[in-house]
Amino acid sequence: MIETLSLQERLHGLLKGRVLTEESLASHTYFRIGGPAEVMVYPADLEDVKAALKVAQDEAIPVLILGSGSNMLVLDGGVRGLVMNLSETFLGLEVSGEQIRCGAGVRTSRLLALSAMRSLTGLEGLTGVPGTIGGAIKGNAGTSLGAIIDHLDWVRLVDRLGEERCLARKELSAGYRTCRLPMGSVIVEACFTLRRAEAAEIRETISTLLVRRNLTQPVEVRSAGCIFKNPPGDFAGRLVEHAGLKGLRRGGAQISEKHGNFIVNLGGATAAEVFWLIERARAEVMAKTGVALELEIQIVGSPSAG
């Protein structure tokens, strides 16, 4: 308790941005599930990010970087240490010819809308993918139409020692829903090179994809998007359906009846209930097909308080 207070007080004195304690993470995730963050900071700028990382490094405090919480399950006991909420920081967007420089806190939908408006094509694979640009790069988010890192030139980040670094695309060793970033680093900015195309065509592609997504995914209910990565040559949703698990319910959580790779929060679901369904889906798919499903979402925190 004394440690918690001193961390909060120290950060409060150092940072320009807000410092909160025991903030419920449920309201910061798409799932609307999760326990509290011991300390949550909203860095006001780059200097705040560096200062917070330095304190965490000096005091050996774990740091969780939070964007919009769209691809995350926070367990019911919450997250100890420091949660750095970047949803209100690094919101700049600048177009220059076929390049767009974009702050890490910008929403994927905003970047996509701007590129369409400026007749720049390439990012349509992000259609319907929620989240911030920083989070999207970390998970190399995308769809069958392409992933975000395909069009990335470079990212600027702050490493866990508080040093700024710039990495070119090839240094990220991007793969399907993964990339390699220095451990504990915070992405602050990214630069994309796109191609010119007819704005009407870009808009048409986006709206076709959105219609398809609305038909096939449970967009009207709280979820964390796809739970599992697609295994090579197959689809996690198809495998979960094949295992007969669509519609399976545990408390307030349910494997979506619409899409087998989604778990939805019907209201008041706990992380434990979601986790139970995840484990059940993995076990049944393994037993029926021999395929080991890998998580696409990030699971963070402790199952219970204390």
| Residues at the contact surface with ligand EPU, assessed by CB under 6 A | 128, 143-144, 213, 216, 225-226, 229-230, 235, 237-238, 241, 246, 259-261, 296
Whether the CA torsion 298, 174, 66, 10 is positive or negative: it is positive
Task: Determine whether 14 is exposed, middle or buried from the number of CB atoms within 10 Å of its CB (0-12, 13-18, 19+).
Answer: middle
Please state the closest distance from residue 180 (CB atom) to ligand EPU, in A. Answer: 19
Per DSSP, the three-state class of 115 is helix
- How far apart, in whole angstroms, are the C-alpha atoms of residue 118 and residue 93? 12
Output 87 or 140, the one with its CB closest to ligand EPU.
140
Please state the closest distance from residue 241 (CB atom) to ligand EPU, in A. Answer: 4
Q: Which of 45, 36, 46, 40 has the alpha carbon at shortest distance from 8?
A: 40
Q: Which of 305, 263, 286, 234 has the alpha carbon at shortest distance from 22?
A: 305
Q: Specify whether the CB–CB gap between 19 and 12 falls below 8 A.
A: yes
Please state the closest distance from residue 233 (CB atom) to ligand EPU, in A. Answer: 12
Output 215 or 287, the one with its CB closest to ligand EPU.
215
Q: Where is 143: in which H helix or E strand? A: strand 142-143
Output 80 or 138, the one with its CB closest to ligand EPU.
138
Output 17 or 260, the one with its CB closest to ligand EPU.
260
Please state the closest distance from residue 103 (CB atom) to ligand EPU, in A. Answer: 22
Task: Determine whether 280 is exposed, middle or buried from the number of CB atoms within 10 Å of its CB (0-12, 13-18, 19+).
Answer: middle
Q: What's the Cα-to-Cα distance from 181 to each of 103, 135, 149, 264, rounded to whole Å?
A: 17, 12, 12, 30
- How far apart, in whole angstroms, are the C-alpha atoms of residue 86 and residue 139? 16
Please state the closest distance from residue 284 (CB atom) to ligand EPU, in A. Answer: 14
Q: Which of 23, 109, 28 has the alpha carbon at shortest distance from 66?
A: 28
Please state the closest distance from residue 238 (CB atom) to ligand EPU, in A. Answer: 4
- How far apart, in whole angstroms, are the C-alpha atoms of residue 68 and residue 32? 12
Please state the closest distance from residue 287 (CB atom) to ligand EPU, in A. Answer: 18
Output 87 or 230, the one with its CB closest to ligand EPU.
230
